[in-house]
Amino acid sequence: MSVTELRATGRSQRKAKGDGHLRRAEILAAAERIFVECGYEGATIRRIAEDVGVSSTALYMHFRDKSEILVEICSEAFSQLIASNARLALADMDPVERVRAMLEAYIAFGFDNPNAYQLLFCPSTAEIPPDKQEILNGLGAQCYALFSDAVAQIQAAGRLRAEDHDAAAQVLWSGPHGLVSLMILRSSFEWADRKRLISLMLDGLFRGLVK
Residue 196's CATH number: 1.10.357.10
Q: Tell me which of 11 and 64 has the higher pLDDT.
A: 64
Mean pLDDT, the chain, integer: 89
**93 and 11 inside one domain:** no
> What per-residue confidence (pLDDT) applies to 11?
52
**108 and 74 inside one domain:** yes
**Whole domain around residue 12: which residue ranges?**
3-63
**102 and 197 inside one domain:** yes
**58 and 88 inside one domain:** no
pLDDT digits (tens, 9 = 90+) for 4-50: 555 555 555 544 444 434 478 899 999 999 999 998 888 999 999 99
From 98, 61, 145, select the one nearest 27 (Cα to Cα).
61
Query: CA–CA separation, 102 vs 85, rounded Å?
Result: 6
pLDDT digits (tens, 9 = 90+) for 141-151: 999 999 999 99
Q: What is the pTM of this model?
A: 0.85
**173 and 118 inside one domain:** yes
**92 and 194 inside one domain:** yes
Residues 143, 81 contacting (CB under 8 angstroms): yes
pLDDT digits (tens, 9 = 90+) for 80-112: 999 999 999 999 999 999 999 999 999 999 999
Q: Which among 22, 48, 63 is the end of a domain?
A: 63
- pLDDT at 174 > cutoff 90: yes
**109 and 200 inside one domain:** yes
Question: How many domains are contained in the chain?
Answer: 2
**177 and 189 inside one domain:** yes
**106 and 199 inside one domain:** yes
Residues 48, 34 contacting (CB under 8 angstroms): yes
